[in-house]
A and B are shown apart, each in its own frame.
Chain A
Amino acid sequence: MSAVDSVRDRLDALPDVGLVVGFIAGIWTIMLLLAIAVGGAEWTNLAVGFIGSVTVLMGGYAILALALNLQWGYTGLFNIGIAGFMAVGAYTTAILTAPTDPAAGAVPGLGLPLWVGLIGGMVMAAIIGGLAALPALRLKADYLAIVTVAFSEIIRLVVNWDGLAEFSLFGLPVGTGGATGISFKSANEVASGFINGIGQPLVTAAESVGVSGPNLANLTYGLMLLGVMGASYWVLARITNSPFGRVLKAIREDETVTQSLGKDTRLFKIKTFMIGCALMGLAGVLFRGQAGYVSPQQFRPTITFYVFAALILGGSGSNTGSILGAATFSGLLFYLPARLGENISFGGTRAPGNIVDAVAGLASLDPLPLLAYTVGNVSTLRFVLIGVVLIYIIQNQPDGLLGHRNEPATSVSLDRSQAGPGGETDE
């Protein structure tokens, strides 16, 4: 039995909630230990900073992975335009909620309340998702992938275009801000308003042990994102554990058979695509628009591939797996290496300026230059690490952490009814 198998067996034994809580707590513990190791006297502030940032990342990626799991993991809809649908959600929210009288040089918006903006963003992302899916649904699955990636780039280029940077909508000045982006009142501000208002005693207490206000606000926001993740999980679990979810799985397995059994698969696919895109739109504003500012640079296609990496890691087809994959990807592969690189030093050895000098040290049996170089450039090298992990997973554990699980899509217990044929009691 390989090491991965034994990890799996242990994962299987835990209930799903325990699994998720355990995973997140584990990553928090790693961050805490790192902060203690490198933080010195300021370790508390550093720990809250690390944990806050990693929580925001985990929450954001988990929502995205859940949405992709519905589309790709369950239904087999190959959406590689995630970044684009995130941008639609984020920009719609930004335009709806940006102040009507912005600071000099910024783009005005409609000044609506944030909740209106969030709903508007989700609705718009769903509509654009539906539009993208319509032509592609008549074609084979691969074409949907091409259409979505094209859509996502078109969206990014449109919001980057200065032709729409500022224009008049029914007499009201609005715009995307073009390449400079757009500022709006974000959910993060709501979180820091909350922590600085009602949570003031907490802030005071935290400051007395050296934790800064902004770090505490960031952690609060991360926890809020985890709350949104929990709500998304609840909705998606109900969608997938139902006859609807069963049809989705059947479409993934064999669409012709599903049609032959009387299911209008096109409707199921469009609905699923729209729900997934709505969730991606929400993640777009809550995660990428966290700082109350969105710009086209935040919606490059790379984020799409990160979400795929997270889902493959966790196991496509499993909602719980999506969260674990997102936590592993964002916490351990994306965030941790960068922090390690920043905070580890090798005594007096300075990192060489390039890889040739770093390897040259090996000739004199001195590995320190190479180590120092590796750690110093870990921000870049972690992408190599992500690639290596992905290749390993796809070759050796294609089901990821939880994709091997048998999670029947149903709302009831599937055991044979004891009451015999036509019996009404369960068990």
Chain B
Amino acid sequence: MNESDTVDRQETAVTSDAIESPLLEVDGLRKEFGGVVAVDGATFSVAEGSLTGLIGPNGAGKSTTFNCITGIHEPTGGQVTFDGQDITGLAPYTLANRGLVRTFQIARELSDMTVLENVMLAPGGQVGESVVRSVTPGLRGDVIKDEEGVRDRAWETLEFFEIDHLAHENAGNLSGGQRKLLEMARVLMTDPEMILLDEPLAGVNPTLEEKLLERIHELRREQGLTFLLVEHDMDVIMNNCEHIIVMHQGGVLAEGDAETIKSDERVLEAYLGGDV
């Protein structure tokens, strides 16, 4: 039942499947906005290399949980552990550099920059991010060499998501679905270990949805990436995620595989409007 490591996990009321090697652990996470408690003691883990789904009715605290994990909000209480290290309240850029990145619910492309620029921005620790190196004549050679590598990787990534024909287009001119692909391409360029996807399939047509899911599975298989997916589409979650976390009123209501969740009375009640 319990993991082998010694992390002191608060026992929750839910029956939790054993998670062999958790990459991300959230323990008693709490976030208050003024008098509103958006997240109230959420506790769950995400196994390394898994595709975990996070669902829950509107206002369950999914997005706030995401924002607390990724450093957009500072949690009021609780602990977040990533790869064995306490990351609670760290800034987004620190997390990204450690391999934990996210996409946004509404695709946030950098609209006045080209698709290629968007993607080339992402890799961390680029030599040319230093002013001195970019300006000084003798040192700019390194910048150029480094950037050629970034550019080639960027093209490969765009090809992977089949948006390379849009490379020189301003990102603002892309369609909704293409923006979602661009977001995925961009976070992938940071060379992450784990990607948090906030409703990546919202407003995406079925063909594109399939394409996106295909890519996610391929990245898991071939690069061992871990995904945590927030999604409203139940079918998508049930058919793709081997582990599902259900949130309700700021806490974790149920956890387990698709069958467990489907047969859980409390989940049905929460979704069909029991005590809200």
Contact = CB atoms under 8 A, between A and B. Distances in A.
Interface stretch (B18-26, B121-129, B225-233): B121-129
A238 B104 CA distance: 32
B93 A406 contact: no
Interface in B30-80: 70-72
A423 B140 contact: no
B243 interface: no
Contacts of B112: 249, 252-253, 317
A264 B104 contact: no
B121 A258 contact: yes
B116 A408 contact: yes
B170 A261 contact: no
Contacts of A263: 93, 121, 129
A416 B158 CA distance: 11
Interface stretch (B9-17, B141-149, B204-212, B255-263): B141-149
A256 B117 contact: no
Interface in A243-275: 243-247, 249-250, 252-254, 256-265, 271, 275
Given A244-B130, A249-B113, A262-B124, A410 B96 contact: no
Contacts of A244: 128-131, 134
A242 interface: yes
A409 interface: yes
Given A406-B170, A411-B144, A264 B116 contact: no
Contacts of B180: none
Interface string A188-226: 000000000000000000000000000000000000000
A413 B211 CA distance: 30
Interface of B is mostly: helix
Identify which of A271, A406, A408, A410 gathers the most chain B CB atoms within 10 Å of its CB: A410
B102 interface: yes
A408 B108 contact: no
Contact of A239 (B114, B121, B131, B167): B131
B152 interface: yes
Given A235-B135, A238-B140, A243-B126, A259 B151 contact: no
Contacts of B122: 261-262
B110 A243 contact: no
A261 B156 contact: no
A264 B114 contact: no
Contacts of A246: 113, 117, 120-121
Contacts of B71: 259
A412 interface: yes
Interface string B163-192: 010011010000000000000001100100
B91 to A, nearest CB: 7
A231 B214 CA distance: 51
A369 B187 CA distance: 68
B120 A257 contact: no
B131 A271 contact: yes
B111 interface: yes
Contacts of A253: 110-113
Given A253-B111, A261-B121, A262-B124, A412 B151 contact: yes
A250 B134 contact: no
A239 B70 CA distance: 30
Contacts of B170: 406
Interface in B76-114: 91-93, 96-97, 101-102, 104, 108, 110-114
Nearest to B96: A262
Contact of B108 (A254, A265, A317, A411): A254
Interface string A401-417: 00000101111101011
A250 B121 contact: yes
A242 B110 CA distance: 17
User: Interface range on chain A: under 10, 10 to 19, 20 to 34, or 35 or more?
Assistant: 35 or more
Contacts of B128: 242-244, 411
A246 B154 CA distance: 14
A261 B190 contact: yes
B161 interface: no
A424 interface: yes
A261 B96 contact: yes
Nearest to A257: B108
Nearest to A259: B92
B155 A410 contact: no
A16 interface: no
Interface in A5-22: none
Nearest to A271: B131
B155 A416 contact: yes
Contacts of A421: 152, 156
Interface string A68-100: 000000000000000000000000000000000
Contacts of B113: 246, 249-250, 253, 408-409
Contact of A247 (B70, B129, B167): B129
A19 to B, nearest CB: 21
A410 B186 CA distance: 17
Contacts of A317: 112
B134 A417 contact: no
A40 interface: no
B147 A260 contact: no
A422 interface: yes
Nearest to A234: B135
A101 interface: no
Contacts of B93: 259-265
A357 interface: no
Given A239-B134, A258-B121, A261-B121, A414 B151 contact: yes
Identify which of B129, B155, B156, B170 gathers the most chain A CB atoms within 10 Å of its CB: B129
21 contacts: A239-B134, A242-B134, A242-B143, A242-B147, A243-B127, A243-B150, A245-B134, A246-B113, A246-B121, A249-B113, A250-B113, A253-B111, A256-B108, A259-B91, A260-B93, A261-B121, A262-B97, A262-B124, A265-B93, A406-B114, A406-B168
Given A239-B131, A416-B155, 13 more contacts: A246-B113, A246-B120, A259-B96, A260-B101, A261-B121, A262-B190, A271-B131, A408-B114, A409-B117, A410-B120, A414-B116, A416-B167, A417-B151
Interface of B: 70-72, 91-93, 96-97, 101-102, 104, 108, 110-114, 116-117, 120-122, 124, 126-131, 134-135, 140, 143-144, 146-148, 150-152, 155-156, 164, 167-168, 170, 186-187, 190
